[in-house]
Amino acid sequence: MTAVVPALPGCPSGLAPAAARDTKRGYSGFVRNVGDERAIDLIVRGAKCGGCLSKIEKSVFALQGVTQARLNLSNGLMRVRWTGELGADRIAQTISDLGYGVAAQAADPGADDKAREERSLMISMGIAGFAAANIMLLSVSVWAGHGEMGEATRKTLHALSGIIALPVLLFSGRHFFRSAWAALRKGHANMDVPISLALSLAFGVSVFETIRGGEHAYFDAVVMLCFFLLIGRFLDARLRRQAHAAANALAAMQISAVTRLNDNGSAVSVAASDIAAGDRILLAPGERAMVDMRILTGISDVDESLVTGESLPRTFSPGMTLHAGAINVTGPLRGEALKVAEESLLSQIGEMLEAGEQRRSAYRRIADRAVSIYVPFVHTTAVLACVGWLLLGASLPEALMIAAATLIITCPCALALAAPVAQVVAAGRLFRKGVYLRSGDAFERLADVDHIVFDKTGTLTLGTPKLEGIQQNGCPVPLESTEAAAMLADAASMARVSHHPLSRALVAIAGPGTVLEGVHEIAGRGLEAEVDGQVWRLGSAGWTGAAAKGALHGPSLWLDQGVAPAVQFRFVDDVQPGAAEALETLRDQGIGLEIVSGDQNSVVASLAEALGISDWTGEATPQEKVARLERLRADGHRVLMVGDGLNDAGALSLAHASLAPGAAIDISQSASDAVYSGGLEAIPVILRVARKTRSVMRQNFALAAAYNVVAVPIAVTGHVTPLIAAIAMSLSSIIVTLNAMRLQIEN
Amino acid sequence: MTIIIYLIPVALALGLLGLGAFVWSIRSGQFDDMQGPAYRILDNDDDTPA
């Protein structure tokens, strides 16, 4: 059996960008012994399609001794089992070499709890659904046999319903009881309090009626209510678990080994958490920095894309500070740890994410506000009805029965469905437009937006360099000319050995071709080779000895072949197609636009000018991005953040609402409310749908309230039968659902 | 009408059978990955790892 070695790194369908390769080390600490086999759990990022699945699984399975390799495409968790001498680092390296991000899965008790909660909600939902179907069967018989059915038959059917409903109440209903009890103990009420009360009162009254041989039992209402509400709960739990998994993925990135240099010069591999400030560290080419460090010796190109969002590597030399998360590309670097791992940039971004989550969960949704009105209203009405009937001379069971009926018929079904249904329908509509929504309440926040902050690279621009022009001696060489083709072929024959993004961009234009013998890469400078006694150089202007005269600004590669003047290959990071139109639409809606980027001021300024945006900030660190958002918030703005890099993640989670493009790294995608594919034209569409969704949600709450205005008098006057309760419950839910369906219609 | 004395338990038993299957499928992890299996079936390579 042979491993499938694909030509292109990353997802073959292009659904996710290929991850940067780095050297994998320190995975042996995560290996477990299972019987006589060994096992490890890995988190794989960037696997999106069936091609990824078979590519990764087959390559790992082809390794010596691997007995099981299974990747869960939904959460990116990969389980590998093997026997023999194979090292865990080798497995991680194999996946990394395929172009996927990989990290060891740390023990995360939080994730287990969440998975268990979701599973238990699913089982509860299944049981409630089963019971609802079976009790409905019996209830319909009772309703249909009204007036003809004998008391004994009715009593039997009621008793059977009760027997089916009891486990549902105890098992499926426990989610509501537990939450209501927890809230009551803290001295406040939540939605689960009226639900629990309605469930237990309805059940109690029904048992009483059954024993008495009465005509009405509400077991069907109890389980139906349970079933509907559990569906909502389950969807909610699933969304929250996905959000938690994102934070976990960030934590997993921090778990890795660092090479520490001891005083006697020997190198030891230690866990990143064991590094103290002041320790000497060796960062080999291909390795990812785990702590912030200051460079002492060595020069190298460093890929900081994860930290700053900037796609081009920067050259680092002694004295410069390297942040955790950056990958060393060319030469070895020795440095001094500035902080311990917990204080490094990566951890700080993790903390920012958490802070943002908390801020966001404090947002009072329309549903929350509706509940705060609904709960006191319904309870007061029920109590008043009970007291009123007692005063009018009704017996205590009769009065209690009416109070219970009030609670059941004002059941929060329509209320519980009003927001989620609208969100699901709107999310479906956006999904067909290539927008994937991460949280349901995002619509409400997106609808509020009055100011948008954009990241530059990868958001307003494409984020990958593209060859714009060739120039020699100050004269442009037309790209279509045979001369240009020859220059390109020569440059590409050297560039093919390099991982530098500019080299790759050059090769992408040149297409397939030969590779020059003896090309070597010099960190921070470029590529060098000897051809027929001449030294060929491809790299920076200073190194190739190119005349700066007439040179154009911007990222460039210079080709010096020793004889003629050096050739300049100039690259640009193109503006996203359709960006100008999209920004114009947003401006027409009176929304403020702003760019906050980690890139150089000059680059940001020229882009801002080209797009007609007057507010811009360049060279912003992740903390400064967050600070800028805080300031805007303090000024009373509802800010939408659009960004893709790890440096944006903190800002994304802190903004009132946030969006990430489909090519963004996983952490940014999870920190944002929605992920859009394609260009910026998606943003006006998202905002329009969000505003429409908010208005439909408001209508739904108004409908639910109107329904109660009709239902409450019927209940209070004592005219509610189980049939009326079931019809009212379904009717209100159907009306709310139908209203939400209007969101499907495009206008 | 006495037939319902048999039919109701039969209906309940069948329902419980379905419920049992549902609970079993959750417990055995069949709902853990909702995307992967759809692709796995398209891969007719005999080498597919177990």
Provide the pLDDT for residue A5: 44
Q: Is residue B19 assigned to a domain?
A: yes
d(CA A220, CA A729): 11
Q: For residue A341, what pLDDT is reported?
A: 63
In a domain, B34, yes or no: no
| A442 token code pair | 């995002």
> A153 vs B1: CB contact, 8 Å cut-off?
yes
B20 part of a folded domain = yes
Domain assignment of residue B3, yes or no: yes
Does B18 map to a domain?
yes
Report which DSSP code applies to A85: S
Q: How many CB atoms lie within 10 A of CB A247?
A: 20
Other C-beta atoms lying within 10 Å of the C-beta of residue B22: 19
- What is the per-residue pLDDT for A355? 66
Per-residue pLDDT tens over the stretch A229-279 = 787 677 666 655 655 565 555 555 555 667 788 888 787 777 776 778 888
DSSP one-letter code for A439: -
Q: Mutate one of B1, B2, B12, B16 to test the A interface: name it (highest A CB count within 10 A).
A: B12
With CB atoms and an 8 Å threshold, state whether A126 touches B45: no
Chain A residue numbers with beta carbons less than 8 Å from the beta carbon of B15 are 130, 133-134
pLDDT of residue A1: 40
pLDDT of residue A251: 54
pTM (2 d.p.): 0.68
Return d(Cα A460, Cα A587) in angstroms, integer.
15
Residue B1 resides in a domain: yes
Residue A376 — pLDDT band, cuts 50, 70, 90? confident
> Residues with Cβ < 8 Å from A139, sequence gap 6 or more?
A161, A219, A220, A722, A726
Q: Give how far A61 is from chain B: nearest CA, Å.
A: 6
Q: Which of A455, A490, A573, A673 is catalytic?
A: A455
Higher per-residue confidence, A659 vs A340 = A659
User: Of the given ranges (A14-18, A452-456, A703-707), which has the lowest mean pLDDT?
Assistant: A14-18
**Alpha carbon of B45: minimum distance to chain A alpha carbons (Å):** 9
pLDDT score for A8: 64
Pairing of strands A77-82, A37-45: antiparallel
Q: Which chain A residue shows the shortest CA-CA distance from B10?
A: A134
Angle between helices A151-167 and A219-253 (to 10 degrees): 10
What structural domains and CATH numbers belong to chain A?
28-105 (3.30.70.100), 110-253 (no CATH), 257-343 (2.70.150.10), 365-434+689-747 (no CATH), 436-461+576-688 (3.40.50.1000), 462-573 (3.40.1110.10)
Distance from B39 to chain A by nearest Cα, in Å? Answer: 5
Res. A675 pLDDT band, cuts 50 70 90: confident
- Distance of alpha carbon A307 from alpha carbon A642, whole angstroms: 16
Label residue A691 by pLDDT band (50, 70, 90): very high
Tens digit of pLDDT for each residue in A145-178? 877 888 888 898 899 999 999 999 999 999 999 9
Q: Is the CB of residue A127 less than 8 Å away from at least one CB of chain B?
A: yes
The Cα B45–Cα A61 span in angstroms is: 13
| Average predicted confidence (pLDDT) for chain A | 80
- Could you tell me which residues come within 8 angstroms of residue A705 by beta carbon, excluding any fewer than 6 positions away? none
Work out the pLDDT band at A106, boundaries 50, 70, 90: low
Residues contacting residue A152 through CB under 8 Å, at least 6 positions apart:
none
Query: pLDDT value at position A518?
Result: 82
Q: Which residues pair with A454 in a beta bridge?
A: A595, A642
Judge contact between A150 and A169, C-beta under 8 A. no
Per-residue pLDDT at A171:
93
- Integer Cα distance of A249 and A111 in angstroms: 11
Please state the ipTM of this predicted complex: 0.82
pLDDT at A121 over 50: yes
8 A C-beta contact, residue A618 and residue A479: no
What percent of chain A clears pLDDT 70, i.e. is strictly above it? 85
Query: What is the mean predicted confidence (pLDDT) over A546-550?
Result: 57
β A451-454/A592-596 pair status: parallel
Write the CB contacts of A226 (distance below 8 Å, at least 6 apart in sequence): A128, A132, A168, A169, A172, A173, A176, A199
Region for residue A463 given its phi and psi (left: phi exceeds 0; alpha: psi -120 to 50; beta: otherwise): left
- Find the domain containing B7 and state its range: 1-27
For A553-595, how does the pLDDT look when each residue is reduced to its tens digit (9 = 90+)?
Answer: 667 888 888 777 788 888 888 888 888 899 999 999 999 999 9
Three-state secondary-structure class, residue A515: coil
Who wins on pLDDT, A433 or A528?
A: A528
Alpha helices in A47-108 (DSSP H): 50-61, 88-97
User: What mean pLDDT, rounded, does chain B reach?
Assistant: 81
Query: Which comes out higher in pLDDT, residue A307 or A243?
Result: A307
Over range A399-424, report the average pLDDT.
76
The verdict on A72 touching B (C-beta cutoff 8 Å) is: yes
Total structural domains within chain B: 1
Query: What integer pLDDT is reported at residue A6 of this predicted model?
Result: 44
Instruction: Look at residue A24 in the predicted model and tell me its pLDDT.
Output: 67
Interface contact A73-B39, CB threshold 8 A = yes
pLDDT band at A3 (very low <50, low <70, confident <90, very high): very low
